[in-house]
Amino acid sequence: MTVTLADVAARAQVSPATVSRVLNGNYPVAAATRERVLRAVDELDYVLNGPASSLAAATSDLVGILVNDIADPFFGIMAGAVQSEIGGPGGRAGGERLAVVCNTGGSPERELTYLTLLQRQRAAAVVITGGAIEDAEHAAALNAKLQRLTDAGTRVVLCGRPPAPETGAVALSFDNRGGGRTLTQHLLLLGHRTIGYIAGPEERTTTRHRLEGHRDALAAAGLPNGAELTLHGPYDRATGHAAAVDLLRREPALTAIVAANDTVALGACAALREAGRRIPDDVSVAGFDDLPFSVDAVPALTTVRLPLAEAAARAGRIAMGREKEPSGGVATIPGELVVRGSTGRA
């Protein structure tokens, strides 16, 4: 049965005219209404009638790059690397493609909305960066959307997130668990036993995998999992600062802090300095990702280096069909421990 514009209007509880305005983009519509209409379009898998329907399986010169926060260097590096690879042989208009960076702000609803819009524009490729949200309902909706995109001829590459089986999407996943384990093993070898952990948002796969690696290392050393010294928060400096203050209050004898990423680690370092703690003489600090500023911190930050630019460039080439997909459509990319001045013996 063909889905009509009236069906979409009924599902979204708006008038057919409002649906038309949203889809044509020729009249301002409230953001909440717009998202409700696009959600209905997605749920009903609505395709415009007439000439547009005959083009539903075609692809344009558009490439979508989804990021959580373009202001975060982690995502900025990856978006730039993907964009650097989207032109070249095989592309139209002299080999160039139009890259559109979609900033989700970490919102699962925005993630689905952008994918709906990219599907309607018949995007040639979509690259989704960063960890996934651990929510069963969202995961099902996301996988259904990815399946629709790949069925319509859009190449989909997940970069830095776990695979999405049976969707046709290629996944280049970082070994966050292995990196977290290696980082904590480094601190244990330096004699640290009282280690605080500042984790990212609890609903993110990246957070869980890095924390699991940390706890794997503690367990292998015969130590408790450190749950009482584990705090969660956004991947930002403010989280690192506030969490470090709290960790020192909870455990004055703290000798090391592992941070969810390098930005969080910088916030923790600032809090330690304010408390009169020397780094690493009194408290060692380690980060994750090896963002560009890490080597210029004082002291330079021990971290796990993820090849962000290299992985994202590879994702771009795969998305453009210029590099062979990994076996089984999935590749795991390891991190590398980089030891600098922020960690020392307990």
Helix (H/G/I), strand (E/B), else coil: 232:
strand
**The residue to which tokens 């539903």 are assigned:** 56
Give the β-pairing of 155-159 and 256-259: unpaired
How confident is the model at residue 95, as a pLDDT?
58
What number does CATH give the domain 5-174?
3.40.50.2300
Contact 287, 265 (CB under 8 A): yes
Q: In terms of DSSP bridges, do strands 336-338 and 303-305 run parallel, antiparallel, or are they unpaired?
A: antiparallel
Residue 168 has a pLDDT of 95
Token code pair at residue 216: 């794997």
pLDDT at position 35 is 82
List of residues 6+ apart from 194 with CB closer than 8 A: 229, 251, 253, 254, 255, 256
- pLDDT at position 51 is 43
Give the rounded distance of the alpha carbon of 241 from its chain centre: 22
Q: Per the structure block, which two tokens stand in for 120?
A: 């309607």
Please state, in angstroms and rounded to a whole number, the distance separating the CA atoms of residues 287 and 338.
10
What's the pTM value of the predicted model, to 2 decimals?
Answer: 0.85
Query: Top-level CATH class of 176-305?
Result: alpha beta
CATH 3.40.50.2300 in the chain is located at: 5-174, 176-305
Residue pointed to by tokens 């668990």: 177
DSSP state of 300: P
Where the chain has pLDDT below 70, the residues are 1, 25-26, 47-59, 87-95
Q: What confidence score (pLDDT) does residue 323 get?
A: 95
User: 53-64 burial by CB neighbour count: b if 16+ within 10 A, else e?
Assistant: eeeeeebebbbb
What is the biggest distance separating any 2 CA atoms in the chain, rounded to whole angstroms?
A: 71
Cα 186 from Cα 194, distance rounded (Å):
14
